[in-house]
Structure 1
Amino acid sequence: MQCDEYSNDEYPIPLSTKLISPLKLSPHPMNADIYGADEDVSDLVELIKVGGEIRPLIVNPSGIIISGHRRNRAATILGWSVVPVEVREFDSPIEEIGLLLRENTYRNRTLEQRIREGWCWEMVEAAFAKQRQVAALKQNQVNSDDTVRVNLPERQELSTDPEARRTRNRVAARVGVGGSSYARASKVLKAIDLMEQEYAQLAVAWKRVLNNQSIDAAYKLLKSPPLWRERVLQVISTGQADTTIKAIAHLKTNTCTLNSQLEQENQQTIEPEKFRVGDLVRVNLNYMKDSSDLLKWNGYWGEVLNLSLIGSLKVDMGASILNLMPKDVLKVDEIELEQARRILNLKKQQDKLNDLEQIILNFLQKQSSISQDELIHLQAIEQRMYARQT
């Protein structure tokens, strides 16, 4: 992904303009790279129909949209002749991209979109760091040549030193993903982008695994032999299964489509997940029948308390302790352990929680990451619980 510079020398929109035709505005080149060119805005269209107005779009003097791509598209669909705009001047393309990313912080995004945001945040942070470095050099007159150039770096360069890793962790937190999960998802998405050039259908299926199933499931496909990976994705892309677990089960039951040597190679390539005491794990019992009592915990995460000699796990779910096998859980890297323990400690006091508090905590115990707004709700429950105890 390139953050290309473009000229703002021409000013087709006067700075005083407040209303303009949506057809005269152009999307920012980075918007489609991150969020896709054909986003579904049907929900927004309905909201605008009811409300009859939209927040002003933010555009630069060249008529390029910095914030409000979905609003502009919805207004076009509704046949609006004009939309409200706020025209801003920016010192550099980097500042435009930074605002574009910040303005999308609170929208619903897929995991793929958040990872692509992270890639661009890495480049933005690197560019600003370079600018600060150049400014310091000029300030101290270390470099007598005033023709210092600041170029936006390629994203691949950012993983080669400790500072780059710190940048990666900051960026991961900014887009709501854990550092190690962000790194794994980035590798997966790079592989998907390569696959898309030749096998678009399979790439779409792999994105579905990443967005709808888990980073772990998508990463296991990355580590699988290519032929096995393609077979699993083919099953998903044709609608015969909606998860990798179901796709593998389908392949195994339809022996005519599964080469035994390939299955053996797959088992040797994918090592079983290794767990430690203190790990956060999500219960994944999709293979069980509906009659199992354990299924009520499916999708919830808990903390590993103990590992047995035979490999089974004792998992603290807050309101209960479960004995599970490694195949029954997926590792969760996105949530801070301290935050998870706060939720589990409250769940242990179920009899002291009201119905709304239990609903909130159940919701939090199914999330892949905890937002700032959700932390505020968690703190409020803790304060109410403390007040009751005193």
Structure 2
Amino acid sequence: MIQKTPKIINYWEKVDLFEVEEPKKVAVSRLKRHPLNSDIYGVDEEVKDLANQIKMSGWIKPLMINLKGQILGGNRRREAVNLLISQGHLPEDQEVEVSIKKLSEDEEVQFLILDNASRHKTNLQMLREAQYLKMFHQSVTCKNRKTLTSSERSFLDYWEERKQTVKSQKKKKSVKVRDVLGSFMDVSGDQARKGLKVLWLIDLLTDLGRNQEIMEIVEALNKENITVAYKNTRSGKKRTLFNIDI
């Protein structure tokens, strides 16, 4: 008798959370870090202070997840809870409250960045945000306005507001995408342009496995500033790569 291979059921498809208006409790072990969150903010985040706050208050703010169980809002909270579990302060089957958010991939980028708007960020993290905001803006502006979702329209409206603010503050006749991106980072448009080029080089060096050079650039970027990192990439072996037309 031929045995049929059992169908692997996605946990988030099996558990119908969409119709639950109130947050539902789920074991933290079932939640996954969103890959975009790792791309933008890294994986080695310091969460000791947050873990202590949770330990002292005994309260964990509800997390926002997508249908895959990937966290859209609350990645650091998950890490903090896992830290407390590893320290024996919370049980291994600790549950947290979650709510489901159904978004497109582009909207998930927007949500992740907005959810982290108030956190302290390194220059590298802010550049990653700018990189994804630029891609999201390009994606949305290519669509027919009539087909946009409400969040996409809100994003374009917000972008236009930022654009007009930059135009007024900088007294510019025309405002470029890099100027708006710079406003998110509180730097000039030219600084944003240089920063994104440095980021491009970091990604290229990552593909080439040149980790030592990456560490040098990131250190200059985070401990100094974009200008120092940009100047460092204009010298030595990196200069040839940096001058590649992008």
| Aligned residue-pair number | 194
Match of 2:50 among 35, 38, 44: 44
Structure 1: which amino acid aligns with 2:76?
A: R
Structure 2 equivalent of residue 127 of structure 1: 139
- The structure in which a higher percent of residues are helix is 2
Higher relative contact order (CA 8 A, sep 6+): 2
Q: What is the identity, as a one-letter code, of the residue corresponding to 1:203?
A: I
Distance 2:24 2:33 in 1: 18
Q: How does 1:368-387 map to 2 (within 5 A)?
A: none
Structure 2 CA distance, aligned partners of 1:227 and 1:205?
11
Fraction of identical pairs, as percent:
31
CA offset digits 1:43-74 (Å, max 9, x no partner): 21122222221211111233111011000111
| Matching residue of 2:62 | 56
Contact conserved, 1:11 with 1:62, CA < 8 A, in 2?
no
CA distance in 2, matches of 1:86, 1:62: 12
In structure 1, how many angstroms separate the alpha carbons of the residues matched to 2:105 and 2:14? 15
2:236 to 225, 233, 238: 225
Equivalent residue, structure 2, for 1:187: 197
Contact 1:11/1:61 (<8 A) preserved? no
* Alignment partner, residue 78 of structure 1: 84
Asked whether the equivalents of residues 117 and 175 of structure 1 are also in contact (C-alpha less than 8 Å), the reply is: no
Secondary structure of residue in 1 paired with 2:142 = helix
Structure 2: which amino acid aligns with 1:212? Answer: K
* Change over 3 Å in CA distance of 1:51–1:220 after alignment to 2: same
- Measured after TM superposition, the shift of residue 13 of structure 1 is 5.1
Unpaired runs of 5+ in structure 2?
A: 1-9, 149-174, 241-246
- When residues 57 and 227 of structure 1 are mapped into structure 2, their CA distance, relative to the original with a 3 A threshold, is closer
Matching residue's letter, 2:17? P
- Deviation of 1:122 after TM superposition, in Å, equals 0.8
Given that 1:185 and 1:219 are in contact with CA atoms closer than 8 Å, whether structure 2 keeps it comes out as yes
Q: Partner of 1:102 in structure 2?
A: 114
Distance 2:36 2:217 in 1: 23
Residues 75, 83 of structure 1: 8 Å contact kept: no
2:186 matches 1:173: no
CA distance in 2, matches of 1:210, 1:98: 24
Q: Counterparts of 2:44 and 2:31 in 1: how far apart (Å)?
A: 17
Which amino acid in the other structure matches residue 205 of structure 2? M
Q: Any idea what SS the aligned residue of 1:10 has? A: helix
Q: Normalising to structure 1: TM-score of the pair?
A: 0.46
The 2-side partners of 1:13 and 1:194 are apart by 42
Give 1:134 shift: 6.9
User: Which protein shows a greater Rg?
Assistant: 1
RMSD between aligned alpha carbons? 2.6
1:279 aligns with none
Give the match's secondary structure for 2:46. coil
- Alignment correspondent of 2:123: 111
Q: Is the 8 A contact 1:67 1:100 kept in 2?
A: yes
Gaps of 5+ in 1: 1-6, 137-164, 230-390
| Displacement of 1:228 | 9.6
Match of 2:102 among 86, 89, 94: 89
What TM-score does the superposition give when structure 2 sets the normalisation length?
A: 0.71
Q: Distance in 2 between matches of 1:32 and 1:211?
A: 17
Any idea what SS the aligned residue of 2:71 has? strand
SS at match of 1:223: coil
